[in-house]
Chains A and B, each alone.
Chain A
């Protein structure tokens, strides 16, 4: 019964869930940092510096950001490879699932399909975003990010990414609980109903939070469009990012 012995399909299933869980926790945490822009440029600058280790080491190390990006990328890759096994494997399977879903009108069945579609989109959207952070870790900050989002038109990536990732994460967590948690049979329906409500609440909350931040970045970028490349120097006037 030791953990070491877990192998094969059991390991794949467990790892798919674990990587999913870690990614969701990361994404949810990430939203609060990313949304620091709602509290103003200085708040975001503070967060940026924190991730570069400045508050610990006294000077910024953007490489730290690259390292986190690489780890997330590895998690996404592992998760995607494992999830790929669950994708409809042929046109016939795809057709049959579609037929089934349309006839059943069953929420959880449809939600699985949403997860496949958003997961597939994330394959590109999330990868693009994480890769960018990986290669340009020093290019994050109140102005740098806003310029990229507005003048660099990255909002076209982030808007769909925001919707996909939160649908995928919210539904994923709901599914994780139903998949693994020891819920007594007598309470299954009640727990499920509550989880569903929580799931939609969380999805709506994060999409709203993310949209507000994205619009803020776009607005800063718009106002800053004639000075692209200039960095934000915080209220303390130190090295801008």
Chain B
């Protein structure tokens, strides 16, 4: 009764990792296989930490929160992007292949500079509230309340952790380096929804109304299917497309 299932015979996982250090001129990309005894409820994060602690301290990968919040552990897991800290090994076959997210600058092994890409995207799309006369704003005054429903919607879109999975999952982004990706398009819809942002659709059009923006998206829906936060990317992109056609 009420027995917690304990895995009796653990598998020996074979974790194949694409290794490369772009800062070492002698380094060539190569696959290296590590063997790890699978533990109960093991995540890829735990497995990778074990490898680093017990087998190869030079293995590079990123983690901060271990809880799907910081967005730093995105990697290609058996061909598809995902968060390593949110991926249970028991849902994977015994042989697991890991590679760094493509489309981002490689720092080494599984570590990529998503931050740099996201910052570039953010500066280009100006993903912050644009409002006139903020200098004269009385910071002690109570902000006008937002409708709970609207706040809810904003929060939903704000949940993006900028992990880059949607960019790595996007065929368009693979072909066109200047494509802002679902993450960028989603953030535009987020600021468009925000009543504090005074930008008009014409201004948003200037930012995403071209082939590097919403009209570059070919609706492959890789983003929708891989976003670890389950953001409604298909809905948001279709919405933005309709808005931008009207604004164009």
Contacts and interface: CB of A to CB of B under 8 A. Distances in A.
A175 B219 CA distance: 7
Contacts of B248: 5-11
Interface stretch (A37-45, A95-103, A162-170, A217-225): A95-103
Contacts of B241: 13, 179-180
Interface string B220-248: 11101100000010111011011011111
B174 to A, nearest CB: 4
Contact of A106 (B209, B211, B222, B244): B222
Range of interface residues on B (Cβ < 8 Å): 20 to 34
Given A85-B211, A178-B234, A96 B174 contact: yes
Contacts of B247: 1, 10
B235 A184 contact: yes
Nearest to A179: B219
B58 to A, nearest CB: 25
A156 interface: no
A178 B238 contact: yes
B220 A13 contact: no
Given A11-B248, A13-B245, A183-B234, A106 B224 contact: no
A86 B238 contact: no
Nearest to A111: B220
Nearest to A13: B215
A180 B232 contact: no
A148 to B, nearest CB: 37
B115 interface: no
B220 A9 contact: no
Interface in B69-89: 76, 79-80
A158 interface: no
B218 interface: yes
Contacts of B171: 97, 100-101, 104, 109, 112
Contact of B219 (A9, A89, A106, A178): A178
A96 B205 CA distance: 29
A178 B234 CA distance: 7
Interface in A1-58: 1, 5-14
Contacts of A179: 219, 238, 241
A112 B218 CA distance: 8
A101 B205 CA distance: 30
Interface in B157-210: 169, 171, 174-176, 205, 209-210
A183 B242 CA distance: 12
A100 B102 contact: yes
Contact of B169 (A86, A106, A175, A180): A106
Give 4 nearest A-B pairs by CB, closest first: A10-B248, A185-B232, A103-B79, A9-B215
29 contacts: A5-B248, A7-B248, A8-B209, A8-B248, A9-B209, A10-B209, A10-B244, A10-B247, A12-B215, A13-B215, A13-B245, A14-B245, A86-B218, A89-B175, A97-B175, A100-B102, A102-B79, A104-B169, A106-B225, A108-B221, A108-B222, A109-B220, A112-B220, A178-B219, A178-B221, A179-B219, A182-B235, A182-B238, A192-B221
